Structure 1
Amino acid sequence: MTLTVDTSRGFVVCAHGCRHWGPHGAAGLLLRHDGRVLLQQRAPHVHHGGTWSLPGGALHAGEKPRRGAHREASEELGGLPRIRHHATHTNDHGRWAYHTVIADTLEPFAPGRGDGEGTRTRWVAPGQVDGLRLHPDFADTWHHIATLIGGRR
């Protein structure tokens, strides 16, 4: 039996003095379909619980952002539909970065039961995102992401 060491756990402090989860950075998957984006409300027991953000999480040592975003989103959404990648936005904090992997679903998608890190999901128009209580880091980058996806604020 091979033991796998989870290298993704723990908080780090970035060059700006902020505390982030994931010593190797983190990544999330922003799915788009029919002009809407999929957001997830974070469970109360996770960092910034109750806020809305993307399904995603900490990267493992050496893991590429796209692979990590797929892995984390699949765990949290109970699987993924067929997707086509659009772009990746990196928010570099110095010594830590969050990668938003943007992809279009190739079919309608209703998330299933995931690993419990989210309490619910919602498809929303980009213009509705600002009206939600967002994870602070997601709120800081949403305007950049909205520009990338054509959903300018």
Structure 2
Amino acid sequence: MADSSHGYVRDRRGCRHWGPQGAAGLLLRQGPRFLLQRRSWRVHHGRTWSIPGGALKAGESPWDGARREFAEELGSVPALCPVLTFVDDHGGWAYHTVVADVMEPFFRHRGDGEGVAHRWYIPVEIDSLRLHPGFAATWPQLIGELDAAGR
């Protein structure tokens, strides 16, 4: 059976995106810090910082897809408390950034190699990193929404 998460789709603006069902990523928060992953040079937009994530499967919720992708890329998922889901809608295709608080210590295990490093950063440090273009475009709105909600 073919994987429903594979393949490209075009949004209403004509931009091409991976994942016919959309995509989701998991942004872990621990106090004032957020966990980012440096992408391998072998993947699209390699050597940039972003969050673990990827294409959703048919019928998969953003929460489930973000956790699955996180486990694939970092080897495991700690106990989490969901905070919010930020949706970047491109018109016919959307990326869901799921923000969750870490409820227990997180230790990275062997993942699939899409990420070569991971680190905890405070927001001002994130602003100075070379970010994945999609994450860079949504980061100011995402942190603004978290701040506005007092979360």
Residue in structure 1 matched with residue 85 of structure 2 by the alignment: 88
TM-score scaled by length of structure 1: 0.91
Aligned to 1:51: 48
Tell me by how many angstroms 1:17 deviates: 2.2
Aligned amino acid, residue 54 of structure 1: I
> In the alignment, is the contact (CA less than 8 A) between 1:33 and 1:108 conserved in 2?
no
The residue number in structure 2 matching 1:115 is 112
Could you tell me how far apart the structure 1 residues matched to 2:86 and 2:118 are?
22
Deviation of 1:150 after TM superposition, in Å, equals 2.6
Secondary structure (helix, strand or coil) at the match of 2:58 reads coil
* Count of aligned pairs: 148
CA distance in 1 between partners of 2:8 and 2:2 (Å): 17
Q: Distance in 1 between matches of 2:63 and 2:76?
A: 15
Query: Match of 1:147?
Result: 144
- TM-score, normalised on structure 2? 0.92
Question: 1:64 maps to what in 2?
Answer: 61
Runs of 4+ in 1 over 6 A off after TM superposition: none
Identity of aligned residues (%): 56
* Inter-partner Cα distance in structure 2 for 1:73 and 1:43: 15
Gaps of at least 5 residues in structure 1 are none
Supply the distance in 1 between the matched residues of 2:145 and 2:100 (Cα, whole angstroms).
Answer: 11
* In 2, Cα distance between equivalents of 1:5 and 1:95: 22
Given residue 120 of structure 2, which amino acid in structure 1 is its aligned partner? W
After TM superposition, give the deviation of residue 16 of structure 1 in Å. 2.0
Structure 2 unaligned spans of 5+: none
